[in-house]
Amino acid sequence: MDDEHYDGTKLLSLTDVNGNKPEIYLCTANRTGGKTTFFNRMLVNCFLKKNEKFMLLYRYGYELEGVADTFFKDISGLFFPKYTMKAVKQGRGVYYDLYLCDKTIADDAGKHCGYACAINSADAVKKKSHFFSDVSTILFDEFQSETNNYCPDEVRKFISIFVSVARGKGQMHRYVRVIMVSNPVSLINPYYTKLGISYRLNNNTKFLRGDGWVLEQGFINSASEAMKNSGFIRAFSGDKYVAYASENVYLNDNMSFIETPTGRSKYICTIKYKENDYAIRTYPDSNIVYCDSTADLTYPYKISVTTEDHNINYVMLTNNDVFISGLRKYFERGCFRFKNLEAKEAVMCMISHRTY
């Protein structure tokens, strides 16, 4: 990766773990490194040179307001000074048509170059799928939410939009490149979890391959140094968000207590969270409670953390207030350990439960 500005050329040249051309390219790097600029510029160039149209994905419908400026304003001044972009609302705001306009031509109506739509409108987008058969690339910028403000059932809706786009032209499925860009917010974001990335990433990972996808985890040193030289950033140097903005630190992840205890243990419970089973064990010699994914499904005491996880042989969390209260005390005293961030999230969700 270029030390001055992000360059996605290598990422886009990679094959997946099976040696096939990926359909999903994920890119994360520290802020202000130029990720968005690179991919936005690439989409416009692909349209101008190859007439390849694109789709911009946002999370919620209100984000589509002003989408032309959001996407094009910065790169226009840098790379495309003779062009402007306009967006036209369609289908009562289900999606927007994007037009690239030549400023040297008076009253230029522009050439249709792509679309913008919201993931949360997936069902409505599905009904308009015939309009999107000319999309070559989908770009989803900020696929990790800094505030964990994801759509309900977001990954399913994301998949639905892809399926709606990757049809047409006489084919049940055609190749559509998906580019997902983000700052490093959380290792347990819903996309990493679904793709099985959370368990495989570490601080030294630069490129990672999976079935149908490739990922780049980059760091732009010049962007980091520029942030550190800011008086404003120095003034807030002790704040967690500053470390996230200037370094490659995952904002919402706390790696403390991610370790495996040793010694004799006793199995006390199985918990089910996001369709996964986790084991809860006590280590009496060190007074530690430990959670990992090696659940004993024959053990009779099973708790479903959410209503979505409720299943036969599992009891609801609301019926175990005394047990949960005891585990919460262990956590508050620093006596909990976790195999990984997924196990930690499961426990945190469980002990944060409040009855009404």
What CATH number does residue 203 fall under? 3.40.50.300
Residues 97 and 235 in one domain: yes
In a domain, 228, yes or no: yes
Question: Given the structure tokens 């140094």, which residue do they identify?
Answer: 225
Query: At CA 168, angle to CA 164 and CA 170, rounded to 5?
Result: 150
Lookup: tokens for 189 = 């974001």
Tokens (6 digits) for 104: 């040297």
Cβ–Cβ under 8 Å, residues 324 and 353: yes
- Whether residue 316 sits in one domain with residue 181: no
Q: Which of 246, 274, 290 is the last residue of a domain?
A: 246
The total of structural domains in the chain comes to 2
For 15, the token pair is: 């094959």
Q: Is the domain of 14 the same as that of 81?
A: yes
Q: Domain for residue 260, yes or no? A: no
33 or 187: which carries more pLDDT confidence?
A: 187
pLDDT confidence tier of residue 184, bands split at 50, 70 and 90: confident
Same-domain pairing of 69 and 207 = yes
According to the model, what pLDDT value does residue 18 have? 97
Residue that finishes a domain, picked among 246, 276, 298: 246
Strands laid side by side in the 266-273 sheet? 315-316, 302-304, 266-273, 276-283, 288-292, 336-338
Owning domain of residue 226? 9-246
d(CA 322, CA 273): 19
- Residue 1: its pLDDT value, please? 45
Q: State whether 161 and 281 are in the same domain.
A: no
Please give the pLDDT value at position 34: 86
Asked if residue 193 and residue 124 are part of one domain, the reply reads yes
- 275 with 235, same domain: the answer is no
pLDDT band at 354 (very low <50, low <70, confident <90, very high): very low
The candidate with the shortest Cα–Cα distance to 25, out of 218, 217, 219, 213, is 213
202, 218, 246: which is the final residue of a domain?
Answer: 246
